[in-house]
Chains A and B, each alone.
Chain A
């Protein structure tokens, strides 16, 4: 499948010593929603700013839509939408003025499409006539998202787009992403909201301390990760019966067990069936487990 974003050993080192990202090699395919996961300072924003030519790489290269992000930046911009993180649009403009201004940069301007976006995010005429400095952070975020989609770009790059959005708006946003993907668009979405990535992304990459740790489909990522099982026994049981290789014991006091499920769940059930159980919890697999797995010290 065609790569819409392609980086090759992309490195950004600030001031000669602070690593932003290092040797980042990745591909984002056309028509997918690509989640870029990482904790604060992991290098998510640095990667996005490199892709948008707001900062320059120390070494390595990056391409978006088949063009070099540094040398052919202007060609790329016509086809890309961008919603930055934590940045308000120009404060002294009204919402309407801002959208018109951002739209003027493109020859293509579909007002019906814009109206549709405004309706999705429940933006009224009154909201549009207000100055952006009067907007709440959620409103400012919504208008930043709308401007990223207003010119029907081929690729949308978003940095933590749902920060400040209420759950209803988040839901509308996820719908928009899905519709956009279904119509052939590609999304590069940085986030530290695991549920969001789990819910909407096709593939996810995890970045830690500027280094790409893994890239997989969200389903594979989740399935490959061990789950935590918690069991309360009615009576104390010996520790030795649990040390079978199927479980990695985290806590055990004879009656309560907390362990990582590493092997076949049937074998574990077979062992446990010999003892009386008061309570058992095996939460569904989540990306949070994956994230914690990659971010834990030993990994």
Chain B
């Protein structure tokens, strides 16, 4: 009962941000069918894709060009990092609103003076992150299909649902990782700086891993390397072990974060 009161409170707190981000994702994904429908852009793209620069080819991989040739601009919205950035922004925002800012200002003391456990607060954080990300992923999917319908994009339909599920699972992992940092952070700065920098480094490494072989050795521990939209678009099946490992690791991180948060001393604000 008390846990639900807190859950309702944080849902209310995050509603506006979720709506705005969903709108951004919806519009962003909805614009790619429009680009895809543009004959002029299609012609220009065909030219670029047929003769890629060697460095670009090495960095992006042959499959990227094949996919773009096959499906056109419509899939670019799922390969482009903007979507990832929007989802990561939501995770940071949710974590900061539910935990970090409450801890930093000391107002978590009011909540914890009520009969609600820290474990439950952390569990509620997981719920709003999971459901918020699910809504945003659906908004992305909705934006794409709405764009395809309104701009009358025909032809071969890419496996968007698989890509969105892959993206969602990856984001859960990243959320678990950020929430783990939040369980020990006292302020927004102490949350954002270490976790944001590490995420940025991993993302950059993933982006340029094709350029330098040693980077590829880092891939197994790089969460971004498990987001494989291009592989899904060319019809490859994803590694089952990795597919299972990510949710298990995510659950472990949330469990560890909840344990740490339940046993830590909270600053006075």
Q: Tell whether A pairs with B.
A: yes
Q: Are B265 and A77 in contact (CB under 8 A)?
A: no
Binary flags per residue of B108-124, CB closer than 8 Å to A gives 1, else 0 = 01101111110000000
Q: Are A101 and B265 in contact (CB under 8 A)?
A: no
Q: Are B5 and A78 in contact (CB under 8 A)?
A: no
Q: Are A45 and B112 in contact (CB under 8 A)?
A: no
Chain B residues near A80 (CB-CB < 8 A): 113
CA–CA, A111 and B263, complex, Å: 36
- Specify which of B9, B106, B115, B269 lies most central, judged by the most chain A CB atoms within 10 Å of its CB: B115
Q: How far, in Å, is A219 (CB) from chain B's closest CB?
A: 32
Pick the contact of B269: A53, A55, A87 (CB < 8 A): A87
Chain A residues near B116 (CB-CB < 8 A): 74, 77, 105
CA–CA, A42 and B109, complex, Å: 20
For the complex, is A234 an interface residue (Cβ under 8 Å from B)? no
CA–CA, A101 and B8, complex, Å: 9
- SS class, residues of chain B in contact with chain A: loop
CA–CA, A194 and B110, complex, Å: 26
Binary flags per residue of A86-123, CB closer than 8 Å to B gives 1, else 0 = 11111110000000011011110000000000000000
Pick the contact of B112: A53, A75, A91, A107 (CB < 8 A): A53
Q: Are B5 and A87 in contact (CB under 8 A)?
A: no
For the complex, is A37 an interface residue (Cβ under 8 Å from B)? no
Q: Are A102 and B114 in contact (CB under 8 A)?
A: yes
CB within 8 Å for A77 and B115 given contacts A45-B268, A49-B268, A55-B265? yes
For the complex, is A56 an interface residue (Cβ under 8 Å from B)? yes
Q: Are B113 and A101 in contact (CB under 8 A)?
A: no
Pick the contact of A88: B1, B107, B112 (CB < 8 A): B107
- Counting contact residues on chain B (CB < 8 A from A), the size range is 20 to 34
Q: Are B105 and A88 in contact (CB under 8 A)?
A: yes
For the complex, is A35 an interface residue (Cβ under 8 Å from B)? no
Q: Are A74 and B117 in contact (CB under 8 A)?
A: yes
Q: Are A87 and B110 in contact (CB under 8 A)?
A: yes
Q: How far, in Å, is B72 (CB) from chain A's closest CB?
A: 44
CA–CA, A87 and B265, complex, Å: 17
Q: Are A102 and B268 in contact (CB under 8 A)?
A: no
For the complex, is B63 an interface residue (Cβ under 8 Å from A)? no
For the complex, is B231 an interface residue (Cβ under 8 Å from A)? no
Interface on B for A, CB 8 Å cutoff? 1-2, 5, 9, 13, 102, 105-107, 109-110, 112-117, 263, 265-266, 268-269
Interface on A for B, CB 8 Å cutoff? 45, 49, 52-56, 73-75, 77-78, 80-82, 84-92, 101-102, 104-107, 144, 147
A–B pairs, 7, beta carbons within 8 Å? A81-B113, A82-B109, A86-B106, A87-B107, A87-B269, A106-B114, A144-B110
